[in-house]
Structure 1
Amino acid sequence: MPLGLLRRLRPRTASAAGPDLSLPLPAGAGAFGCEVVDPTGQPMAGAEVTVTALDSHRVATHGTTDPYGFFMAALPPGSYGLRIAAEGLSPARETIEIAAGVAPPPAHITLDPARQLELPPTGTWLFDPPHTAIRFIAKHVGMAHVHGRFTRFDGGIRVAPNMGDSQVSVRIDASSISTGNKTRDNHLRSADFLDVEHYPYIDFVSSRFIYRGGSKWTLQGTLTMHGTSRSVGLDTTYLGTVNGGYEQELRCAALAKAELHREDFTLNYRSMLARGIAVVGPTIQLELDIQAMYHTSDTPTPPE
């Protein structure tokens, strides 16, 4: 357990002078501090810092750098693994030693640009259902969470010569929803929720790919569910391309996430509560863990 997270905001020029931290350490504790900068040497605010005890592999402390790029913590003596990450940059990893009563000057850590993975070849890629999962997490009315997935779907990716012009389409069989509880699943399929008899499919079609740096992209597009279409953005991490599997097919993989609000799709949370229905809360976390196989080098132009 961390003994405390201690931060101090200081001018940028103070770092060059090698300031004395002068931390008020708890008895028997040591201190760790770091100053994180981007590839141009500018302070990295909001970088994620995780410190893990090497003996137990437990997270000792976790947080983000302050507006000046600093992070400080008081910790029990011992050996720790340090990981610092920020979007679009390669994570930094180091091993640090904490000694009782010692508060050394902050370590200066530069995050380098993330290595951009080679993009998949142009053409049409089709989802491989046995190696693809569409999952969701919704908070139940109360404290529990409902975990579920859709078991029947198809989709594909049209990779254009300019990646920004590429397109993803997904069609989900709404009746294939599964949360591990038959009564709840039947309720989710009913007119109270997905109404699969009248709206059998959930569709997503992307309109553009927006590059966010490193392996990060945003897939902007339209999600149609329960007869209602809304613009959504999928925060996507491209995982690379490999030759593998049966007959050594060329495959690519990605992980996409989005937060959905039920009322955006006319799934009225308040009216359900008024009728004594309490299936899941109003916010749903959607995750698509995609693996696709190379199908053809054709990249047909989507219809206008």
Structure 2
Amino acid sequence: MQIGAEAAEAAGTTGSAPSGPRGLHARVCTRDGWAVPHAVATVTDAAGRQVARAEADDDGTLATAPLAPGPYTVVVTAAGYLPAARTALATGSGAAELGALVLTRQGGVQLPPPGTWTVDPAHSAVAATAQHLGLSSVHGRFAEFTGRIVIAPRVEESTVAAEIRAASIDTGNPTRDAHLRSADFLDADRHPVVGYASSGLTPAGPDRWTVHGQLTLAGVTRQVDLDLAYLGTGPDPWGGVRAAFRATTELRREDFAMNWNQVVRAGVAALGATLRVELDIQAVQGEALPPE
């Protein structure tokens, strides 16, 4: 059996990992542990000569034939990710274990893997806060909503769509909730659905995005941007995978023809002019939600 740089160079091309004893071995993944398939590792020796090249499989695993004992530099590249360089030391057997090699998306921003993610209303919250009497806040939430997130291979082309049942508003006070459902505010009888559809996505920093979209509320449609934070992914008890997000925005009531108010004392209105909206979202990978 050939051992050393010549063997590695002969076997170290793109494609599946070589059979038999292995040399460099690593799993290329994102920060959340998702595989980065088709990442390419280039291995150079101490003199700067390329001795091997390997392409990761669908699980993100890459391997070369055995290497000559000694130190090596490994540079891993993948479309849409920043290159990563690591130092590897091949043992007397020719093996060099790197373990998990984490790649970061270009621009330093992250989102879940491409595909469809379905919002789980049972483990999500859609809340709104209004100022009351200029002193404190009234908090409400919507109990009924659905949503769908599609992460595109080019993350800037990802989309978000959501529908909220206007009549499901709950502030903990039945009289106030009935008023909010009336034509003074949500006009839930004539406009039962509050809808949001994204039109674009812009990176705003590590793990942060600005979602551009159209909000239809009480029959009025306006451009509304969401400040979105991606909180990561993980397994759930039903064998699925979940992603978590938090989004916020601020709405002006007058933009949606919600002009009702009362002046309770000189210069002080019962309600503030703006609403703060906060979304805490869990989304399940795929088109369907798990059973309760």
TM class by smaller structure: 0.5 to 0.7
Of 112, 122, 133, the residue aligned with 1:120 is: 112
One-letter amino acid matched to 1:193: F
> After TM superposition, what 4+ stretches of structure 1 lie above 4 angstroms from structure 2?
115-118
The offset of 1:121, in angstroms, is 1.8
The offset of 1:116, in angstroms, is 4.8
Find out whether 1:244 has 2:233 as its counterpart. no
Of 243, 250, 266, the residue aligned with 2:257 is: 266
Q: State the alpha-carbon separation in 2 of the partners of residues 190 and 134 from structure 1.
A: 20
**Number of residue equivalences:** 181
Of 231, 245, 268, the residue aligned with 1:254 is: 245
What residue in structure 1 maps to residue 210 of structure 2? 218
Counterpart mapping for 1:11-90 below 5 A: none
Cα pair distance change 1:288/1:182, threshold 3 Å: same
SS of match in other structure, 1:175: helix
What residue in structure 1 maps to residue 183 of structure 2? 191
SS of match in other structure, 1:198: coil
Q: Deviations over 1:159-206 (max 9, x none)?
A: 111010000011000000000011100110111111100010111111
User: Aligned-pair RMSD on alpha carbons?
Assistant: 2.5
The offset of 1:282, in angstroms, is 1.5
2:226–2:249: 8 Å Cα contact kept in structure 1? yes
The offset of 1:120, in angstroms, is 1.4
TM-score (structure 2 length as normaliser)? 0.58
SS of match in other structure, 1:256: strand
The offset of 1:117, in angstroms, is 6.8
2:242–2:285: 8 Å Cα contact kept in structure 1? yes
What residue in structure 2 maps to residue 288 of structure 1? 279
Residue ranges of structure 2 left out of the alignment (5+ in a row): 1-106
Q: State the alpha-carbon separation in 2 of the partners of residues 285 and 116 from structure 1.
A: 28
One-letter amino acid matched to 2:211: L
1:164–1:209: 8 Å Cα contact kept in structure 2? yes
The offset of 1:245, in angstroms, is 2.7
Bigger Rg, which one: 2
1:117–1:240: 8 Å Cα contact kept in structure 2? no
One-letter amino acid matched to 1:122: P
Q: State the alpha-carbon separation in 2 of the partners of residues 199 and 233 from structure 1.
A: 22
What residue in structure 1 maps to residue 22 of structure 2? none
SS of match in other structure, 1:203: strand
Q: State the alpha-carbon separation in 2 of the partners of residues 221 and 140 from structure 1.
A: 28
Of 164, 169, 193, the residue aligned with 1:177 is: 169
Q: State the alpha-carbon separation in 2 of the partners of residues 117 and 245 from structure 1.
A: 28
TM-score (structure 1 length as normaliser)? 0.56
Of 156, 164, 170, the residue aligned with 1:164 is: 156
What residue in structure 2 maps to residue 140 of structure 1? 132
1:167–1:208: 8 Å Cα contact kept in structure 2? yes
The offset of 1:280, in angstroms, is 3.1
One-letter amino acid matched to 2:127: R
SS of match in other structure, 1:281: strand
Q: Deviations over 1:10-65 (max 9, x none)?
A: xxxxxxxxxxxxxxxxxxxxxxxxxxxxxxxxxxxxxxxxxxxxxxxxxxxxxxxx
1:169–1:206: 8 Å Cα contact kept in structure 2? yes
